[in-house]
Structure 1
Amino acid sequence: MGVPLRQQIRVGAYIVKQRLRRNERYPLVLMLEPLFRCNLACPGCGKIDYPDHILNRRLSVDEAVGAAEECGAPMVSIAGGEPLIHKEMGEIVAELVKRKKFVYLCTNALLLEKKIDLFEPSPYLTFSIHLDGLGEHHDRAVDQKGVFDKTVQAIKLVKSKGFRVNINSTLFDNASADDAIALFDFATELGVEGITVSPGYAYERAPDQQHFFTRQKTKNFFREIFAKQKAKGAKYAFSQSPLFLDFLAGNQEYRCTPWGNPTRNVFGWQRPCYLLNEGYVSTFRELMEETEWEAYGTGNYEKCADCMVHCGYEATAVQDMVKNPLKGLKVALKGIRTEGPMAPEINLENQRPAEYVFDRLVSQADKPGSKAEAGASDAA
């Protein structure tokens, strides 16, 4: 099972509670970035393009734990950058686990052997290890030879010590459906508990701009993957809701809910989402109440045009699962539909043009006591 039953029950109860309170916007997963520094420079990543003095910043233990408490989401995804570079990561994770947050520690695994003794196995802790392909394919994705072998070695080590392991795979259009199936087969043979899969997001500052999917290509690609999976009778423990996977195959008409995965990093609360940096505010309440959410999302903003990424749409799918459990159960039992008409695509005619504000935001956020606020509040 890609998502533990304990987690399914807790998250389902949390959503029901929010619905009973008539809360229209609420977080499911806190995207916590305690640093931007990384020991890799992946060509498809737009997260590490900062000057050194910013890459050297860190959230303290109190700031990281405080963000989780302020936000209240039942799950915390610790990303970056590479979280294991943070000298206090063991303490951050321990404090979050103590509060019974479901923690997904995202890592490229290069430091896992050195750092593993900082952590203790827990049903609330999952190592989410990046694995974007087999052998040379993964090494090309991270732009460094030998990383695949080190990653596999780390997965085996972590498994042997009793930790729960998830692989996190970002797919680009230079991969084939056969490549994806081979990766999922390999991960299943390794005994990982879950597989998180997502199309790559077109970061505007990523070095490689040639291999991002369009929405139509994403749908066709995932239909091919699921068709091949069905043909061979394979079972994969995807750590995502069946309806999100159904969405990737073009069968669900969803809008993104960026507030479902709010981001807290070294600058503050990032608006509007983990993928798109258009400003910062000081508090979670400001993020939720003052962000002009309607200015973002596919059909609303050019930068969002091709996005189908899990941190934008998984929350939508999970809420739909809770609201319409029979629909979710049907997809889970019958599998993903891979033929026939797709759900209508979102019209892009009225989307506002992209604004390129990165340099201004970094300059503003780098001033002591200032908030890098821009984006929707200025442009909408």
Structure 2
Amino acid sequence: MGLPLNLAVKIGTHLVKQKIKRVDKFAMIVEVEPLFACNLKCGGCGKIQQPHDVLRKRMSVEQAVAAVEECGAPMVSLAGGEPLMHKQIDLIVEELLKRKKFVIICTNAVLLPKHLHKFKPNKNFAWMVHIDGLREKHDQAVAKDGVFDEAVAAIRMAKAAGFQVYTNSTFFNTDSPETIVDVLDFLNDDLKVDRIQISPGYAYEKAPVQNRFLGVEQTRALFKSAFSGGNRKKWRLNHSALFLDFLEGKRDFECTPWAIPSYSLLGWQQPCYLMGDGYVQSYKELLTDTEWENYGRGKDPRCDNCMAHCGYEPTAVLATMGSLKESLRAVVSG
């Protein structure tokens, strides 16, 4: 299963418009980080390592909306840090929905029950809850006991209230095909979340724990085994078929780092969410001043083992749009 129909139409229309205009580089999704502060200290994330004065800052509603309008992406991922620690996150969502954007809040869900009443179900809004394994593994990943149970309870609450709930699971070299199958079965069959997003652990340079990241061959072997036996078809995966092919080594792609730009309190991050080589203050500067040709596997050693969805899902989507065969495949599977 791929994207929900209304989101697929939004992104597909956006891609067609860019092709007609002959635009080379454009945003498919924009990630906006309205704060860096978080209520957890996950080993695979380094956001809270920002200086204390930066951790205290919050992006204004106007600034967040302006960034989204500047880049023109049809889909917005509100991340962080923990976005539910932002006192006006509901107003940011409200303003973006008025502008017909598809909005996702990426959250660890600990604060979700406290703030759920501020939001309303909408076909263009979804929660994205991070679930990085079943109870023991997830709590180990977030360095706090009890978080898995809180996240599961929050998902059930949001689903009961009529919201779309997606999950995002990152897998590391501590995972096996069996642990991947176990968590995806649980999310798909027990929790019955609407969409499941997955990604191999990426070498995020600010992460406090650096020995858990997967290499390319490890990633391919891990997902090839996990996807066997028809598993791939039964899970409600929030990915294109070609990206899933890429994960298990059936296809290879180059990274498209400009397709999911990241905007935070520091500005537009160069070149991508995973690598902070600098910040610029406008989206135009990001496109024109970033030396995109210097990044990617075989060009920058930091990219060599990355197979993250933020770089390769856009490539897979563009490849799907450019092939009648793959477009038909996407329609049939989705």
Output the TM-score relative to the length of structure 1.
0.85
1:148-187 matches, within 5 Å, as 148-187=148-187
Query: Residues 76-133 of structure 1, C-alpha deviation per residue, up to 9 Å, x if partnerless?
Result: 0111110000010000011111111111110000000001111111011010000011
Count of aligned pairs between the two proteins: 333
3-state DSSP of counterpart to 2:234:
coil
Query: Residues 134-156 of structure 1, C-alpha deviation per residue, up to 9 Å, x if partnerless?
Result: 11111011110000100000000
Other-structure match for 2:134: 134
Question: Where in structure 2 are there 5+ consecutive unaligned residues?
Answer: none
1:316-335 matches, within 5 Å, as 316-330=315-329
CA distance in 2, matches of 1:331, 1:28: 18
Identify if the C-alpha distance between structure 1 residues 334 and 158 changes in structure 2 by more than 3 Å, giving closer, same or farther: closer
Greater C-alpha radius of gyration: 1
Other-structure match for 1:201: 202
TM-superposed CA distance for 1:2, in Å, is: 4.8
Letter of the structure 2 residue corresponding to residue 128 of structure 1: M
Contact 2:33–2:79 under 8 Å retained in 1 = yes
Query: Residues 304-356 of structure 1, C-alpha deviation per residue, up to 9 Å, x if partnerless?
Result: 11110001111111111111141354478689xxxxxxxxxxxxxxxxxxxxx
Other-structure match for 1:226: 227
Contact 1:242–1:332 under 8 Å retained in 2 = no
Other-structure match for 2:17: 17
Contact 1:246–1:331 under 8 Å retained in 2 = no
Contact 1:321–1:327 under 8 Å retained in 2 = yes
Letter of the structure 2 residue corresponding to residue 270 of structure 1: Q
Letter of the structure 1 residue corresponding to residue 218 of structure 2: K
CA distance in 2, matches of 1:142, 1:268: 27
Contact 1:44–1:208 under 8 Å retained in 2 = yes
CA distance in 1, matches of 2:251, 2:273: 23
CA distance in 2, matches of 1:113, 1:132: 20
3-state DSSP of counterpart to 1:6:
helix
Identify if the C-alpha distance between structure 1 residues 131 and 325 changes in structure 2 by more than 3 Å, giving closer, same or farther: farther
- For structure 1, which segment, 208-217 or 320-329, has the greater mean C-alpha deviation from structure 2 after superposition? 320-329
Other-structure match for 2:114: 114
Other-structure match for 1:241: 240
TM-superposed CA distance for 1:204, in Å, is: 2.1
Letter of the structure 1 residue corresponding to residue 72 of structure 2: G
Tell me, yes or no, if structure 1 residue 124 matches structure 2 residue 132.
no
Letter of the structure 2 residue corresponding to residue 122 of structure 1: N
Contact 1:196–1:239 under 8 Å retained in 2 = yes
TM-superposed CA distance for 1:56, in Å, is: 1.0
Question: Where in structure 1 are there 5+ consecutive unaligned residues?
Answer: 336-380
1:38-77 matches, within 5 Å, as 38-77=38-77
Contact 2:205–2:274 under 8 Å retained in 1 = no
Letter of the structure 1 residue corresponding to residue 309 of structure 2: H
Letter of the structure 2 residue corresponding to residue 284 of structure 1: Y
Calculate percent identity across the aligned residue pairs.
Answer: 47
Contact 1:2–1:193 under 8 Å retained in 2 = no
Letter of the structure 2 residue corresponding to residue 105 of structure 1: I
Query: Residues 238-261 of structure 1, C-alpha deviation per residue, up to 9 Å, x if partnerless?
Result: 111111111111122211111100
CA distance in 2, matches of 1:141, 1:204: 17
3-state DSSP of counterpart to 1:80:
coil
Relative contact order (alpha carbons < 8 A, sep ≥ 6): 1 or 2 greater?
2
TM-superposed CA distance for 1:161, in Å, is: 0.6
TM-superposed CA distance for 1:9, in Å, is: 1.3
Tell me, yes or no, if structure 1 residue 80 matches structure 2 residue 76.
no
Aligned alpha-carbon RMSD (Å): 1.6
Identify if the C-alpha distance between structure 1 residues 327 and 3 changes in structure 2 by more than 3 Å, giving closer, same or farther: closer
Tell me, yes or no, if structure 1 residue 277 matches structure 2 residue 272.
no
Other-structure match for 2:255: 256
CA distance in 2, matches of 1:190, 1:83: 23
3-state DSSP of counterpart to 2:64:
helix
